Amino acid sequence: MDENVLHEINSNIRAYISEYHIMNYFGIYEVLDTEISVDLMIDRAIIALNRIKGSHSEEICYFSDEHRDELLYEQRIIADFKAAIEHREFEMYLQPQIDCSDNCIVGAEALVRWKPPGKGIVRPDAFVPILEKNGLVTEMDRHMWRLACEQILEWKKTYDKWYSISVNISTRDFFFCDVYDIVVSLVEEYKIPPSSLKLEVTESAFANDRGKMVELIKRLREYGFIIEMDDFGSGYSSLNMLKDLDVNILKLDMRFFENSEDQERSRAIIRAVIKLAEELKLPIIAEGVEKQADIDFLHESGCRIIQGYFYGKPMQVKEYEEMLKRQIYKEII
Ligand code: C2E
Ligand code: CA
Ligand code: CA
């Protein structure tokens, strides 16, 4: 479709409906192969259309080979998913959280790794967004929450200590399952204290029905769960959201520690967020810290809890246990 046609359509619509701002998007499948069905052609045009929805810079998108490859990849992930759950191909890796003032371990985050037989490890970025899009993430998350509970109980039996694990709750989980019922029944089944299964939520969970989410978080806290606000500072409404939301811990988004042209600017923002957490009496965890210089800066600014490659990448449970044997463990809350 050429730009003139697009312009013509836009101006005609605008002539009729003057008070509304209309956005037109076009997904196009160019028919080179007349053997394929009309349904498939339409599907491909819709796939192209979905690439641009919500974008303010593009209005037209052609279906391309790249889209086809992405689609095939997505279909393969979905097809392999059921067997992967059954065969326990999803493994829980743990990334330690360390108090940089005394080197004590204060907890660990559970991060999923997919290990298909005979293949390498698949990182979550390559499949979690696809599972989210297709509503399958809930099944995977429930599996991860169960693995975390199993592990917490096992540590209690082995070391006679409740070591905590933070698990991720995808925004999609809140639509597809009753998060409250599931986590409560899990901690009851394994007879572990709810405070040992920490729940990481992101602010996008609050975008749709804030009232419902505020109520849910309140009930989870009343039951004894600890709620961590993940990726704090990455969204548009972080500050506004803190007003209503009663979380226990803030996790400072790792993008603040990416190399930036203007490091002083990033640091000024980090200092302000740390100050805010202090005022609200909320412990803060800095994520994605890789450099000694950043640790020093955070320590000086009043943030002591660090989760980042500097102290350890996500690791297998056995390796984390070695750390637990070497270093003192304490709780932050
Ligand atoms: P996240 O929840 O923000 O997890 C932190 C990510 O940052 C992890 O990536 C971790 O490996 C990475 N990271 C930590 N420290 C550093 C560092 O110093 N440098 C760098 N470059 N990266 C660091 P990972 O494991 O690849 O996970 C990516 C995302 O996938 C997670 O981001 C989370 O959104 C999602 N995810 C992972 N596991 C699960 C899960 O079990 N359930 C759900 N729903 N999502 C998960
Ligand atoms: Ca997380
Ligand atoms: Ca995070």
Distance 182 CA to ligand 1 centre (A): 23
CA distance 318 to 94: 10
The larger pLDDT score, comparing residue 289 to residue 24, is at 289
Residue 46: pLDDT above 70?
A: yes
Residue 17: pLDDT above 70?
A: no
**DSSP track, 121-164:** PBPGGGTHHHHHHTT-HHHHHHHHHHHHHHHHHHHHHHHSS---
Which amino acid residue places its CA nearest to atom 37 of ligand 1? 111
First to last CA, the chain: 59
For the stretch 150-167, pLDDT in tens is 999 999 999 999 999 999
The CA dihedral of 182, 188, 190, 195, to the nearest 10 degrees, is 80
Instruction: Give the CA count within 13 Å in the CB-facing half-sphere of 240.
Output: 9
For the stretch 115-155, pLDDT in tens is 999 999 999 999 999 999 999 999 999 999 999 999 999 99
CA 317 to chain CA centroid, Å, is 21
* Nearest ligand by distance to the CA of 200: 2
Tell me, what amino acid is at 193?
Answer: P
Percent of the chain with pLDDT over 90: 69
For the stretch 297-322, pLDDT in tens is 999 999 999 999 999 999 999 999 99
What is the number of other CB atoms lying within 10 angstroms of the CB of residue 154?
Answer: 14
Residue 88: pLDDT above 70?
A: yes
Q: 3-class SS at 246?
A: coil
Residue 198: pLDDT above 90?
A: yes
- Dihedral angle sign, alpha carbons of residues 78, 79, 84, 89: negative
Which amino acid residue places its CA nearest to atom 3 of ligand 1? 231
Distance 67 CA to ligand 3 centre (A): 28
Token pair in block for residue 11: 């101006």
Mean pLDDT of 168-178: 93
CA distance 135 to 176: 7
Distance 131 CA to ligand 1 centre (A): 15
Token pair in block for residue 131: 């599972």
Question: Sorting pLDDT into bands at 50, 70 and 90, what band is 2?
Answer: low
pTM of this structure:
0.90
Lowest mean pLDDT: which of 35-39, 183-187, 268-272? Answer: 35-39
**To test ligand 1's pocket by mutation, which of 130, 169, 197, 254 has the most ligand atoms within 8 angstroms of CB?**
254
Which amino acid residue places its CA nearest to atom 41 of ligand 1? 112
Quick one: which H or E segment has residue 323? helix 317-326
Instruction: Give the CA count within 13 Å in the CB-facing half-sphere of 233.
Output: 22
The set of protein residues with a Cβ atom below 6 angstroms from ligand 1 is: 95, 111-112, 123-125, 128, 137, 141, 144, 168, 170, 230-231, 254, 287-290, 307-309, 314
Q: Which atom of ligand 1 lies closest to the CA of 169?
A: 44
**To test ligand 1's pocket by mutation, which of 100, 128, 140 has the most ligand atoms within 8 angstroms of CB?**
128
Nearest in space to 123 (alpha carbons), one of 134, 131, 112 = 112
Token pair in block for residue 89: 């191909």
* Nearest ligand by distance to the CA of 201: 2
Token pair in block for residue 106: 């204060």
Distance 189 CA to ligand 1 centre (A): 28
* Nearest ligand by distance to the CA of 251: 3
Distance 111 CA to ligand 1 centre (A): 6
Which amino acid residue places its CA nearest to atom 10 of ligand 1? 314
Distance 109 CA to ligand 2 centre (A): 7
Distance 178 CA to ligand 2 centre (A): 20
Residue ranges of E strands in the chain: 26-28, 60-62, 90-99, 105-114, 165-168, 197-201, 227-232, 249-252, 284-287, 305-307
- In the block, tokens 């009663």 appear at 246
Q: Collect all residues with Cβ–Cβ distance below 8 Å to 158 and sequence separation of at least 6.
A: none
